[in-house]
A and B are shown apart, each in its own frame.
Chain A
Amino acid sequence: AQSVTQPDIHITVSEGASLELRCNYSYGATPYLFWYVQSPGQGLQLLLKYFSGDTLVQGIKGFEAEFKRSQSSFNLRKPSVHWSDAAEYFCAVGSSGGYQKVTFGTGTKLQVIP
């Protein structure tokens, strides 16, 4: 069965500092990987996705993520965080078969301080 681990429940960074959110996945085949962001009381917005090809993926809002098969990781990065980036971030892995269900990690809450 597929699974996702986000080891950091809560991260605090200063505005302008760099950010890295960790994500490790477990999946038997080549995974489909996603990062979503959720603001309080809102649905999820897709930041970026990896299906195949270049292992460094660019997303919206200046985010990027790197797929590392050897480490089963898909960490999210941003070089300079803005106060508006404060939100909950979810890493997810999708299956290629059946209804292509997606399994979410437990999320990392990002706090940005001035």
Chain B
Amino acid sequence: GAVVSQHPSWVICKSGTSVKIECRSLDFQATTMFWYRQFPKQSLMLMATSNEGSKATYEQGVEKDKFLINHASLTLSTLTVTSAHPEDSSFYICSARDPAGGPGEQFFGPGTRLTVL
């Protein structure tokens, strides 16, 4: 089946620094990837839709200048949390659409735990 990886799996950083999270589709090309944020004991909240070769589409209320998304190739999307603060601490999960998969079907990465001190 389709495999999506994320790196790093966890990261701790100081307040004010920037953190980059990578999302890769390992065995398929993904024109569309999604970034989610999950707070403890809560559901996934879609942050943005990442499209290869074009600007990301952000959901309402998500700061695009804080959460920079780049979909540089058909297998890689990155999320950069700029000037991170403790309230940005969360579990970030990416997913990718496999064009060969069914409509709406997404394959999820294992997630990245971000802790901002």
- Are A and B interaction partners? yes
Q: Is B113 engaged at the interface, CB distance under 8 Å to the other chain? A: yes
Q: Given the known A-B contacts A41-B113, A51-B103, A94-B105, are A99 and B57 also in contact in the complex, defined by CB atoms under 8 Å?
A: yes
CB distance from A101 to the nearest CB of B (A): 6
A100's nearest neighbour on chain B, judged by CB, is: B104
Q: Could you tell me the dominant secondary structure of chain B's interface residues?
A: strand
Q: Given the known A-B contacts A43-B108, A44-B93, A94-B105, are A106 and B46 also in contact in the complex, defined by CB atoms under 8 Å?
A: no
Interface size for chain A: under 10, 10 to 19, 20 to 34, or 35 or more residues? 20 to 34
A-B contact count (CB 8 A): 64
The 8 Å CB contact of B103, one of A36, A45, A100, A107, is A100
Q: Is B51 engaged at the interface, CB distance under 8 Å to the other chain? A: yes
Which residues of chain A have C-beta atoms less than 8 A from B49's C-beta? Answer: 99, 101
CB distance from A47 to the nearest CB of B (A): 12
A34 & B105 in contact (Cβ 8 Å cutoff) = yes
Q: Given the known A-B contacts A41-B113, A43-B93, are A101 and B46 also in contact in the complex, defined by CB atoms under 8 Å?
A: yes
A42 & B104 in contact (Cβ 8 Å cutoff) = no
Interface string of A29-72 (1 = CB under 8 A from B): 00010101000011111100101000000000000000000000
Q: What are 22 residue pairs bridging A and B, where the CB atoms are less than 8 Å apart in the complex?
A: A36-B108, A41-B91, A41-B111, A42-B110, A43-B111, A44-B44, A45-B108, A49-B102, A49-B105, A51-B102, A90-B43, A90-B44, A94-B105, A100-B32, A100-B97, A100-B103, A100-B104, A103-B46, A104-B43, A104-B44, A106-B42, A106-B43
